[in-house]
Amino acid sequence: MELTELKNKIIQAFSGSKDELDKILTFVEQDQAVFPFNKYEHLLCSLMDNGGLTYEQYLEIRLEYTSENPNLWIFEISAPRGFGEKFAQTYVQGKCSKLRKPSKKIDPNFSGEYDLWLDGIKIEVKASRAVDRDSDEPLYIKALSRNTKKRFLMNFQQLKPQCCDVFIWVAVFRDQIVLWVMSSQEVQENPLYSKGQHRGNKGNEGQLHINDENIHVLDRYELKDDNLEKAIRDAANRNEQLINRCT
């Protein structure tokens, strides 16, 4: 349930007259709402004050909305490192207990160039949130669901295929979290991958834009059986095969 659906749900629950509803909607739209007093909170309070919406109905709508959108809190994480490192890497590690944080003890050549390690496999974790690309609202307002019909954009940045064997991309939707597991060579050869993310970079970093029109190209890499360890090992094997093919 996205915000437009939430608004429709609230309106449908109103038992007052159409004139009363129109008056309230006009008043709410004209109001200059600011966080945390947003227009949805204003709409609910106005409808309840009018007597056309009960507190029990409010609780029912609230429960349905929160249960259908369990990941909204992730869109409220403002610090990039808090989202990319604390959330995404922790989430991935929770999917596979064998994943370890790299160090010079397990990899003498380690210098911070990748995020996780699995029996010699170097893994980089990247994360992005699906948001309405036509909205200027804060992330938690323009967050989208997996089955959205709106235009969305996710950008996986600072990709260095030369520094890892496997990429795990964490795509956060308001109702679902999707993992794509790709070999570094598959990323480098992907037609969507663009080298030289920053001016003067000389090709050391790249990025990959995922949107509503091209997301289907990642279907084959999506983790669907929840066996992340196998997906990582399979991607590492594909990486070796692709490298051998090129040499």
Average pLDDT, the chain: 86
- Give tens-digit pLDDT for 112-133: 999 999 999 999 999 999 999 9
139 vs 42, higher pLDDT: 139
Output the DSSP codes for 173-218.
-SS-EEEEEEEHHHHHH-TTEEE--STT-TTS-EEEEEETTTGGGG
Q: What is the pLDDT of residue 200?
A: 45
- Residue 202 clears pLDDT 60, i.e. is over it: no
Which residues, including other chains, have CB under 8 Å from residue 44's CB and lie 6 or more apart?
10, 53, 58
Q: What is the mean pLDDT of residues 180-202?
A: 79
> Residue 132: which region, alpha, beta or left (left: phi > 0; alpha: psi -120 to 50)?
beta
pTM: 0.79
Q: What is the pLDDT of residue 247?
A: 61
- Give tens-digit pLDDT for 66-83: 888 899 889 988 877 788
36 vs 110, higher pLDDT: 110
Cβ-count burial 179-189 (b if 16+ within 10 Å, e if not): bbbbbbbbbbe
159 vs 76: CA distance, rounded Å: 24
Q: What is the pLDDT of residue 107?
A: 93
Cβ burial of 162 (10 Å; 0-12, 13-18, 19+) is exposed
Q: Which residues pair with 128 in a beta bridge?
A: 171
Contact 156, 187 (CB under 8 A): no
Residues in the chain: 247
109 vs 242: CA distance, rounded Å: 24
* Percent of the chain clearing pLDDT 70 (strictly above): 91
- Band the pLDDT of 139: cuts 50, 70, 90: confident
Q: Does domain 72-246 have CATH number 2.20.25?
A: no
Token digits for 133? 């690309």
Q: What is the pLDDT of residue 66?
A: 84
In this structure, which amino acid lies at residue 144? L
* Percent of the chain clearing pLDDT 90 (strictly above): 48
Q: What is the pLDDT of residue 180?
A: 97
247 vs 240: CA distance, rounded Å: 11
